[in-house]
Amino acid sequence: MSFSLPQPAYVLLGTFLLWRLLKNVVLARTRNLNHIPTIGLCSKLPWPLDTLFYYAGLVEYTFRCHALMKEGYKKYTTYGIFKVPAADWMCVVSNREMIEDLRKAPADTLSFYAAVDIELEVASTLGQNVTNHPYHLNVLRNQVTKNLGTLVPELREELGLSLDEFLEVPKTGEWKSVHVASRFADVLGRSANRVYVGAELCRDPGYIKLNVQHTNHVLKSAIILNMFSKLLKPAVSYWLRDVPKSIDREMKYLHRLIDDRRQYLSSTYDGSPEKPNDLLMWLMEEAKGDEQSDRNLALRVLALNFAAIHTTSMSLGHAIYHVAADADLARGLREEVEAVVSEFGWTKHSISKLVKMDSFLRESQRVNGLGSLLMGRLALKPFTFSNGVTVPVGTHLSVAIEAVHSDPTNYGDDVDEFKPLRFLACESQPLGDQQQQENRPLTSTSPEYLAWGHGSAACPGRFFASTVLKLALGQILMSYDVKTADGRRPENMRFGKYTLPNPKAEVLFRRRESV
């Protein structure tokens, strides 16, 4: 059976491609990026031919981004910057000094939020106030982090319950094959929302499904909207209904909770019953003006779920693939967890003593990460790096983090080897000895380690995410044996700048006899 588009569709598609091509020719000239070297197919052509062949370069970027970043990083480490055709020309920073320049640049010159606005089409997906007034990040950075000690028991309880429910491993001692990519999103979505909205709502299957799927709706809408001019975006956005439907459904789920919590904020509140200790309550205490509406509170909760669920589940997926393929690694990590928990129980303090797990997770993020590029910025003003290279207004910037993480200068000649205890100065250090870890815990950032970003825009939820990852991995190690069917780690999948734990792979789980 053959399939063909109607004639008007070909005309529209051809007109769109021609418009984007001409736009890129004009922007390349007006932004004056000719002094920034190009990597890939377009690098072989002089201006304006490189821009005329922009789409060929874009296809190459989509399928070879990882290789292109390594090539550009190696070739232009001294110059410190190169460009590739992405949604627009992307200028990629590629040495330590310029990464520090990027970190230190004022937000009104190189803006993280402006870059997010464009990439995610925030006005139509997450809501413009999410980046214009990101007070929810301060709540995450301060309130959630400050309360981690009291939240650990709740998180552990919810992780245990959700692992039982979503993995469905039989109690008969049989092996169960689990598609971890989808199951971990449910497990971590439910556990995160225990902190976000409390025990009752986080256990509603419909609510968790909504928040897990919302990320896909946002990304799909952003990709489509990025294809159109600013003039056409409102019309196109009108027909993209998945995100508005998610917002409406989130409001319905949260409406009763919001109303209940408003009594705690009223002047007549007498201190009984006890005030909820969750993120929704903290958001409502911080919200001002219109941000107090049900809709805007729902948008904040959706935005935090968008930021947390898939990134954390991907990190856990990468880690589990390593553990399942290496019995000695699983055994060593389990022994540390059992020893620490038997002495200190499950607390924030005991989690800080899981130094071998900390190093393992840090190494997993170094080797796998979430993608080839991070630390996106948009130049709102002309910016000159410390080596004299200037980028004009409108320039999209990013950092080749995978290339940084695989640089022998940063990590030695064994940089391509996966070493779970790489970040321990002494692999045989005593149990719970943090002295060797003080400068390099999982949550720390540096120009050589960029898994969380770096500087003021580094992930504000990394302390919460780190705690969830360690609790989840510890719970799995103590409750289950894990292995892959062939004894090998499933290969990562790459698409564009993203690095995903193999979305089709399955891991075998078996309940441990001692549990």
**Residues placed in the known binding site for heme:** 459
* Cis before 382 (ω within 30): no
Residues in contact with 29: Cβ distance below 8 Å, sequence separation at least 6, in sequence order: 48
- Cα 441 from Cα 361, distance rounded (Å): 10
Annotated binding site: 459
Contact 377, 115 (CB under 8 A): yes
373-379 and 89-93 as β-strands: parallel, antiparallel, unpaired? unpaired
Identity of the residue numbered 439: N
Torsion of CA 83, 85, 87, 90, to 10 degrees: 0
89-93 and 396-400 as β-strands: parallel, antiparallel, unpaired? parallel
The H-or-E segment that residue 221 falls in is helix 205-225
Task: Tell me if residue 510 falls in helix, strand or coil.
Answer: strand
- Cα 126 from Cα 174, distance rounded (Å): 43
Contact 442, 361 (CB under 8 A): yes
Residues in contact with 364: Cβ distance below 8 Å, sequence separation at least 6, in sequence order: 315, 318, 319, 322
Q: At residue 368, what are phi and psi to the nearest 5 degrees?
A: -100, -55
Task: Tell me if residue 498 falls in helix, strand or coil.
Answer: strand
Burial of residue 188 (number of CB atoms within 10 Å: 0-12, 13-18, 19+): buried
For 372, half-sphere exposure in the C-beta direction (CA atoms, 13 angstrom radius) is 25
Measured from the Cβ of residue 95, the count of other Cβ atoms closer than 10 Å reads: 23
For 148, half-sphere exposure in the C-beta direction (CA atoms, 13 angstrom radius) is 22
The H-or-E segment that residue 323 falls in is helix 294-324
What token pair was written down for 257? 């909770």
Q: In what order do the strands lie in the sheet with 373-379?
A: 81-85, 89-93, 396-400, 373-379, 110-111
- Cα 190 from Cα 331, distance rounded (Å): 28
Contact 449, 366 (CB under 8 A): yes
Taking alpha carbons only, the member of 371, 368, 373, 374 closest to residue 318 is 368
CA angle 351–353–358, rounded 5-degree value: 75
